[in-house]
Amino acid sequence: MKNSRQEQFIRIAMARLRSRYPFEPQCRAIASKMYVGWVERKNRIRKKAIRYETILDNTDKTITPKR
């Protein structure tokens, strides 16, 4: 069973790519690669956000990096 977000991404990507790649298997392969790249970028951004997440130190009211 596919992820509904994945299905939606592939469907939209294929609609955009059909004019450039009319051969359906090639179009699906390129749309799938686009999805993989999108997921990898999303994960990198999420890891960076977690790394730089900050917390409020209530003793002196300054924001310090969470480590």
pLDDT tens digits, one per residue of 9-46: 999 999 999 999 999 999 999 999 999 999 998 888 77
What's at 51, amino acid-wise? R
Stronger pLDDT, 11 or 56, i.e. the higher one? 11
Are 28 and 10 in contact by the 8 Å Cβ rule? The answer is: yes
For residues 34 and 49, which has the higher predicted lDDT (pLDDT)?
A: 34
Residue 33 phi, psi dihedral angles, 5° rounding: -65, -35
Q: How many domains does the chain have?
A: 1
What pLDDT score was predicted for residue 11? 93
**Residue 64: is its pLDDT beyond 60?**
no
Answer whether 27's CB lies under 8 Å from 18's CB: yes
What does the alpha-carbon distance between residue 54 and residue 23 come to, in Å, rounded to a whole number? 49
pTM across the whole model: 0.65
